[in-house]
């Protein structure tokens, strides 16, 4: 069991001095009671408490030493020197052996107890250290995204600025191809800007504040739809919205989820003569509410399902459907923060359905281990 301490003897000196002191005290007490007051006492009556005290305070080593000292002292000072096997001497011997066994057991028990306490103390200390580290890396992450937004944005603004000035100044002398190159560069810098913004949005979802309140999904969906209205005014869209439940969620985050899913549904039904978008709900095996958004749009190939919710992964070309590949990653991150899960079904040209579950009271399952490896976003 590796009970024997490997610490240098000097470090143990106080423990053994204490042992000696307590054993001495036990002898003095015994002499005072028996010789001083003339009481008739069992031989080891004061030694058991001594051994227990020493073992609890000092552990296995001191406990054993105390046991040995008590036995030795008793043999030398208390028991009559016997050379024959009288009845009395046999009972003394049995008492001695019993005392020795008890001493060893008490010492082992005490050591066990001390180790347990030490383990707990170590664990607590480790946990405190881990917490400090976690807070530090969270802070590092924050300052990282801060400087990302600062330092990556500025050069883009400059690129955009000087290209625009170049067009302004030289459009008369530049031919179409040259203008085309400049336009391409401007588009690229704009796209880079979008990617940075989305990356920041995504990192914010992972570390932002999180407060569950009852959220009426009917109202929320209504709000999101109203917000998207301007973009779809001239499209033919057939909405089918179920009566939705009130769920327990972080309102702004859930809104972001619905916004991303509906934006996706609208985006990928763009080429349908009439878009059919259904928002509904059911209950999963665990009895938790499951919300789904179904469309009859471009769909996706289940072969690439594993990429669907990953960051910056897209299953359509930028020419087909614009996007950065962060939208579904954000959906997944938010749902996971709620302790729920996301999944989807789809077929190429045959629409897609996105599902997410929202367990009402799961302790917001902070999927901490997922934080460091960005594994999000999909279609839009």
Partner 1 sequence: MKINPIWLVEDSINDIELTITALEESNLANRLIVIRDGGEALERLKTLGYPDGEPFPAVILLDIKMPKVDGIGVLRAIKSDPRLKNLPVVVLTSSREGPDVNTCYELGANAYVVKPMEFGDFFDALKILGKFWAILNEWPEPKMSKG
In the complex, what is the shortest distance from the CB of residue 192 to partner 1, in angstroms, rounded to a whole number? 10
Question: For partner 1, which is the closer residue by CB, 208 or 349?
Answer: 208
Q: Which one of 117, 118, 127, 157 is in contact with partner 1 (CB under 8 A)?
A: 157
Question: For partner 1, which is the closer residue by CB, 151 or 216?
Answer: 151
Who's near 274: CB < 8 A, 6+ residues apart? 236, 237, 238
Interaction of residue 149 with partner 1, rule CB under 8 A: yes
Binding map of partner 1 across residues 178-197, x = CB under 8 A, - = no contact: ------------x--x----
Question: For partner 1, which is the closer residue by CB, 145 or 248?
Answer: 145
Contact 344, 301 (CB under 8 A): no
Task: Count CA atoms within 13 Å of residue 142 on its CB side.
Answer: 8
Question: For partner 1, which is the closer residue by CB, 145 or 353?
Answer: 145
**Can you tell me the distance from the alpha carbon of 281 to that of 242, in angstroms, rounded to the nearest whole number?**
7
Contact 275, 266 (CB under 8 A): yes
Question: For partner 1, which is the closer residue by CB, 174 or 246?
Answer: 174
Contact 335, 354 (CB under 8 A): no
Q: What is the largest CA-CA distance in the chain?
A: 128
Phi, psi of 293 (to 5 degrees): -125, 120
Stretch that binds partner 1, among 79-87, 130-138, 141-149, 355-363 (CB under 8 A): 141-149
In the complex, what is the shortest distance from the CB of residue 255 to partner 1, in angstroms, rounded to a whole number? 19
Q: Which one of 94, 124, 138, 165 is in contact with partner 1 (CB under 8 A)?
A: 165
Interaction of residue 213 with partner 1, rule CB under 8 A: no
* Sequence-ordered alpha helix ranges (H) in the chain: 9-31, 47-58, 60-73, 87-147, 153-170, 176-207, 217-228, 251-268, 327-337
In the complex, what is the shortest distance from the CB of residue 131 to partner 1, in angstroms, rounded to a whole number? 22
**Can you tell me the distance from the alpha carbon of 192 to that of 378, in angstroms, rounded to the nearest whole number?**
17
Interaction of residue 164 with partner 1, rule CB under 8 A: yes
Residue with tokens 């299953």: 315
In the complex, what is the shortest distance from the CB of residue 110 to partner 1, in angstroms, rounded to a whole number? 53
In the complex, what is the shortest distance from the CB of residue 193 to partner 1, in angstroms, rounded to a whole number? 5
Phi, psi of 79 (to 5 degrees): -75, 140
In the complex, what is the shortest distance from the CB of residue 300 to partner 1, in angstroms, rounded to a whole number? 31
Q: If we measure between CA atoms, which residue out of 333, 351, 353 comes closest to residue 343?
A: 353
Strands 237-241 and 275-283: parallel
Phi, psi of 289 (to 5 degrees): -70, 140
Interaction of residue 78 with partner 1, rule CB under 8 A: no
In the complex, what is the shortest distance from the CB of residue 114 to partner 1, in angstroms, rounded to a whole number? 47
Size of the site for partner 1 (CB under 8 A): 23
**Can you tell me the distance from the alpha carbon of 380 to that of 329, in angstroms, rounded to the nearest whole number?**
9
Interaction of residue 135 with partner 1, rule CB under 8 A: no
* Contacts with partner 1, residue ranges (CB under 8 A): 142-143, 145-146, 148-151, 153-158, 160-165, 190, 193, 200
């Amino acid at each position: 069991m590796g009970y024997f301490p490997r610490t240098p003897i000097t470090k143990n000196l106080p423990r053994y001095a204490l042992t000696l002191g307590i054993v001495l005290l036990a002898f003095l007490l015994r002499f005072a009671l028996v010789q001083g007051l003339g009481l008739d006492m069992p031989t080891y009556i004061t030694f058991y408490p001594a051994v227990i005290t020493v073992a609890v305070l000092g552990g296995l080593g001191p406990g054993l030493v105390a046991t040995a000292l008590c036995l030795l002292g008793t043999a030398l000072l208390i028991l009559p020197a016997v050379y024959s096997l009288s009845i009395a001497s046999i009972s003394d011997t049995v008492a001695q052996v019993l005392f020795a066994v008890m001493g060893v057991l008490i010492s082992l028990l005490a050591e066990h107890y001390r180790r347990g306490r030490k383990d707990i103390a170590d664990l607590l200390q480790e946990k405190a250290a881990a917490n400090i580290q976690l807070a530090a890396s969270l802070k590092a992450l924050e300052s990282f995204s801060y400087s990302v937004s600062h330092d990556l944005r500025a050069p883009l603004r400059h690129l955009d600025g000087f290209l625009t000035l170049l067009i302004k100044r030289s459009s008369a002398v530049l031919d179409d191809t040259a203008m085309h190159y400049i336009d391409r560069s401007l588009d690229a810098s704009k796209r880079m800007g979008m990617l940075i913004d989305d990356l920041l949005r995504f990192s914010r979802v992972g570390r932002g504040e999180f407060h569950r309140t009852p959220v009426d999904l009917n109202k929320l969906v209504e709000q999101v739809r109203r917000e998207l209205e301007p973009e779809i005014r001239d499209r033919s869209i057939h909405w089918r919205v179920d009566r939705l439940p009130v769920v327990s969620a972080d309102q702004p985050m859930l809104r972001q989820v619905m916004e991303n899913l509906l934006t996706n549904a609208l985006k990928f039904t763009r080429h349908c003569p009439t878009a059919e978008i259904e928002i509904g709900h059911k209950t999963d095996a665990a009895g938790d509410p499951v919300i789904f958004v179904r469309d009859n749009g471009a769909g996706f190939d289940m072969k690439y399902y594993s990429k669907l919710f990953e960051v910056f992964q897209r299953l359509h070309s930028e020419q087909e459907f614009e996007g950065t590949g962060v939208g579904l990653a954000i959906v997944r991150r938010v749902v996971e923060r709620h302790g729920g899960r996301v999944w989807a079904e789809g077929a190429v040209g045959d629409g897609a359905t996105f599902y997410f579950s929202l367990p009402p009271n799961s302790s917001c399952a902070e999927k901490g281990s997922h934080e460091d490896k960005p594994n999000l976003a999909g279609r839009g």
